[in-house]
Structure 1
Amino acid sequence: MTSLSRRALLGAMLSSFALPLQASAPATSLRPRLRPDGVAEPPTVQDLVDAAGVSGISSLAVARLGSTEPLESVAADAPLPPASVGKTLTALYALAVLGPQHRFATRVLGTGTLANGRLDGDLILVGGGDPGLDTADLADLAGKLKAAGLREVRGRFLYYGGALPEARLIDADQPDHVGYNPGVSALSLNYNRVHFEWKRQADKWAVTMDARTRDYRPDVTIARMQVVDRSAPIYTYADRQGRDDWTVAQGALGNGGARWLPVRRPAAYAAEVFATMARANGIVLDTPEEARSLPATSELARHESRPLVEIAKLMLYYSNNLTAELLGLSASAARGGKPASIRDSAQAMSDWARATHGLRDVAMVDHSGLGDASRFPAADLVRLLADRQVHATLKPLLKDIDVKDDEGRPMSAPGFEVAAKTGTLNFVSGLAGYVVRPDGDDLAFAVVSGDLPRRASLSRAERERPRGGRAWTARARGLQQDCLKRWGALKAQG
């Protein structure tokens, strides 16, 4: 269908129809009230789906708050992956289990006595699942040790990230080098990414790998990079001798640049950086060793995260995958002990959602939505979002979404607002949240599109920038915008 016919559909929709908001509805689009004789009925929501031209399946639903049934829907029970829209469930799960004021603690423990500036025992860096821990926080932690009088450690320097399941990556189907798919550990640092920078010097390149924040740039050896004379592939990765070994194609570097690469050994990465920060404070530590369990210890220093509710808001805004995994794993551990894996914890979260919120078909394989084997139908998304308590908890945490005209420009006064979570994978696009109406009668909605056969046909190398992916996503997002304008124009009745 042409863009002209799509515009005609939207014009008719926005100018002419009123849809009664009632508690129950058929499984397909409601029929709007008839206009005076001789005037054609406005387009249905199915017409919008047809006009969008999105290959695969588009699944959508909208409901009034407090209702368990949609006002209108299309293929609402289709089992599609939610992508990052699934983080809405993770946020609710963590907030319900841990509480909005929960803080994650990163601790430094000692196994012996501290006297006259000397610790006669081992020093242990212990992760508590803080997703926002960064190099500056470790510098602050090392400073607290110095302030406590520590000058010398006679024993080993150990690190422990085993309070939660550890994994080398979140989703094995992603390209090796994408920073949004790092390792996972209760001891994590800088969102488990290392900063790779290169500068051309004559016919060679100077390469650095560091754990930078605004004020610190400590070099690391846990991740190494070698420039190789080739044109492709751009990156290769190998797990070698306890380190992340990377190579990069010389032909892709140009004169200089930088990017973040994922860290596969987060706890070891954090320990190496902490040793550097301790050395800067006059405390020399041995080469870090991993602790498999925690012995009897005393606490020497700690760093606490910001409150969970703030972390959840940042997670939903920036859609950080590591944060979602650590929040979900921490909630599962608090409910029933340390889960066996990310997948095991995600299943526990899905079970909780079914028991607590009456969801029917949700089946997550992780907490971030990165894995395309997760399933979260639009009907379940809307059933969750339409819960008034969920609305009160989640709506203040969601990002404001622009309502755009047919040229893709933000509308200055659409007459309503949208607070929602986006989600994108290759050939999967979703948007779910609330149409915020000036009369206070907000609507919960979800629109998810997916062409799963097309996604499944991609090789790992193609998944960063697949051919046709941008055009497909643009059409899917166009459908989302069309639905928002339709639902924002609904007139409450009764």
Structure 2
Amino acid sequence: MRQALYRGFLASCLVSLSTLSLAAQAAGFDHVAQLADKGFAISAQARLLGSGEVLGALDPDRALSPASVTKLYTAAAALDRWGPQHRFTTRFVSVGSVDPGGTLHGDLVLEGGGDPALTSEELWRLIQKLRESGVKRVDGQLVISQWRFGPVRCTTTDRCETRTRGTNAYSALLSSAAINYGSWCATVAPGSVGQPARITSCDTVTPTLRVDNQVRTVAANGSLSLSAARVTDSQGDTLKVSGQIPADSFPQAIYKASSDPADQTGQTLLALLQQSGVAVGRGYAVSQQPPPVTATQLAAVEGKPLQELLLRTLNYSNNFMADTLAMDLTVGSQQQLADAGEMLERFAAGLPGHGPATLKSGSGLTPGNRVSARSVDALLAAMYANASLFPTFVAGMQVPTNGPMHFIRRGSEVFQDHVMLKTGTLNEPVTVRAIAGYFRTREGRWGSFAVLINGTASTPYLSWRESLPLIAEDLTAMIESH
């Protein structure tokens, strides 16, 4: 009897201690902790950066998926490696010679430099420089060299599906010679009422992409309804577009990931060369080999500075740009996403107080990434302490009140105006809602925070509408109390 009573007393004490421990952990994150009751796994921490004082914590050492919060690691590692003003260079090279009449005798090689934001506009500039060098005709091939990386093996369901069918732009495939973010762009404009719409390329005068146009033009003030997908067969990519567009509608741009970014570059660049008056005798080919060491440079164009690339990567959570930057961190040729992940893990391991991390991509599109809230806080603290890099790093984050992503415009005015953040979202295989960044207190002191929320197979779907207000309430209380 006494043993039974003792066991009951001990169990009661353990329950009480467990409750007290949870309450202590949830201090500062009382609202976020409500999601734990629904079965969600949570890791959260907020602290002041000057003193290191922890304002709130909830299982801060628990490693969870950060989704696109991973992009903060990519941005920090890129800044640490190259600095804000670094530019990626794309070149035309050849081992051939140019005769007095302007004919290049040999292949014209585009050497991809891994520029995450290389667009048709930069290619036009590159072609102009080629013409200035005296080249008017190429009697060999146009060769697209993706020797650094590409094609990169897909490691997620979305990217693997993109090889045969593209229904979005966020899962674009990777290549060091990719253009236009690895996606095709087409413009749909109304035709005459009752007739098919006009579909043109965003990049070339004559479209290089096959188009299956099933869009009708309807009367003015009608409803706009467009559906598009890129499909691939033995002949290459085709953009299938259906629906309707009113006669008074503005042109609508459609973006769909290509099945082969380097091949897309070849098609587009060949068309641009021909349209600029530079004839290419033998079409184009894609190569994974570097140009011969005897090749000479005919023209080169530098991309946008890294600080501008990071602004786009973080503000718009661009997976293609983030993973391309992560691939750029690797050394050697024909690297894969796992190699980029290892470089990010090495960078994280060198941050004071960070602890272990699993990073399988630079975008967070891979669900296997794992970090803790304490680790993310360590990253944020390290970047805050770096006076030369911090302004560029924080500039890529969103202030909710005026950020480009409208879904973050929730919570109190204090939260809206005093927080700079990066979000992360995954819906498969489980729900992930992650958020991290900086805040300024009423007194102007800087703080950092990270909240990682992961679901399980048995938890309900969690929207930002449900989760963000809870995070905002907790951070608002911390900001106002300091």
Q: Quickly name the TM-score band, shorter chain normalised.
A: 0.7 to 0.9
Residue in structure 2 matched with residue 17 of structure 1 by the alignment: none
The 1:54–1:298 alpha-carbon spacing in structure 2 relative to 1, beyond 3 Å, is: farther
2:272 pairs with 1:277? yes
The 1:130–1:178 alpha-carbon spacing in structure 2 relative to 1, beyond 3 Å, is: same
The 1:56–1:227 alpha-carbon spacing in structure 2 relative to 1, beyond 3 Å, is: farther
2:91 pairs with 1:104? no
2:297 pairs with 1:299? yes
Contact 2:85 2:305 in 1 (8 A): yes
Residue 68 of structure 2 aligns with an amino acid whose one-letter code is: S
Residue in structure 1 matched with residue 480 of structure 2 by the alignment: 489
Q: What pairs with 1:430-449 in structure 2 (closer than 5 Å)?
A: 430-449=434-453
Q: 166, 172, 178: which is aligned to 2:157?
A: 172
Contact 2:60 2:374 in 1 (8 A): yes
Alignment deviations for residues 103-158 of structure 1 (CA, whole Å, 9 cap, x no partner):
10111112211121111111111110111111111111111111221111122211
Identity score, percent: 25
Residue in structure 2 matched with residue 12 of structure 1 by the alignment: none
Residue in structure 2 matched with residue 126 of structure 1 by the alignment: 111
Q: 138, 149, 155: which is aligned to 2:123?
A: 138
Contact 1:104 1:130 in 2 (8 A): yes
Residue in structure 2 matched with residue 190 of structure 1 by the alignment: 180
What SS class does the counterpart of residue 47 from structure 1 fall into? coil
Whole-Å Cα distance in 2 between the matches of residues 490 and 202 of structure 1? 62
Q: What pairs with 1:264-413 in structure 2 (closer than 5 Å)?
A: 264-285=259-280, 286-293=282-289, 294-295=291-292, 296-333=294-331, 337-338=332-333, 340-387=335-382, 388-389=384-385, 393=390, 394-402=393-401, 411-412=412-413
Whole-Å Cα distance in 2 between the matches of residues 403 and 287 of structure 1? 47
> Unaligned 5+ residue runs, structure 1?
1-25, 32-42, 229-233, 456-467
The 1:93–1:417 alpha-carbon spacing in structure 2 relative to 1, beyond 3 Å, is: same
Whole-Å Cα distance in 1 between the matches of residues 416 and 369 of structure 2? 35
Whole-Å Cα distance in 2 between the matches of residues 126 and 339 of structure 1? 14
Whole-Å Cα distance in 1 between the matches of residues 352 and 316 of structure 2? 26
TM-score (norm 2): 0.78
Whole-Å Cα distance in 1 between the matches of residues 206 and 153 of structure 2? 23
Q: What pairs with 1:71-110 in structure 2 (closer than 5 Å)?
A: 71-110=55-94
Q: 466, 472, 481: which is aligned to 1:475?
A: 466
Whole-Å Cα distance in 2 between the matches of residues 490 and 403 of structure 1? 24
Residue 418 of structure 1 aligns with an amino acid whose one-letter code is: V
Alignment deviations for residues 48-88 of structure 1 (CA, whole Å, 9 cap, x no partner):
12446765223211122267784421122333211111100
Alignment deviations for residues 429-467 of structure 1 (CA, whole Å, 9 cap, x no partner):
111011123534211101121213269xxxxxxxxxxxx
Residue in structure 2 matched with residue 453 of structure 1 by the alignment: 457
Q: 192, 205, 208: which is aligned to 1:220?
A: 208
How far 1:45 sits from its partner (Å)? 3.3
Residue in structure 1 matched with residue 255 of structure 2 by the alignment: 260
Residue in structure 2 matched with residue 244 of structure 1 by the alignment: 237
Residue in structure 2 matched with residue 4 of structure 1 by the alignment: none
Whole-Å Cα distance in 2 between the matches of residues 450 and 366 of structure 1? 18
The 1:265–1:275 alpha-carbon spacing in structure 2 relative to 1, beyond 3 Å, is: same
> Unaligned 5+ residue runs, structure 2?
1-19, 216-226, 247-251
Whole-Å Cα distance in 2 between the matches of residues 219 and 315 of structure 1? 28
Alignment deviations for residues 394-421 of structure 1 (CA, whole Å, 9 cap, x no partner):
32432223399xx976755669611111
What SS class does the counterpart of residue 438 from structure 2 fall into? strand
Alignment deviations for residues 174-212 of structure 1 (CA, whole Å, 9 cap, x no partner):
6641210101111111111112455687888557463x2
How far 1:386 sits from its partner (Å)? 2.1
Q: 38, 41, 45: which is aligned to 1:61?
A: 45
How many residues are paired up? 425
Residue 109 of structure 2 aligns with an amino acid whose one-letter code is: I
The 1:408–1:100 alpha-carbon spacing in structure 2 relative to 1, beyond 3 Å, is: closer
How far 1:95 sits from its partner (Å)? 1.1
How far 1:474 sits from its partner (Å)? 1.3
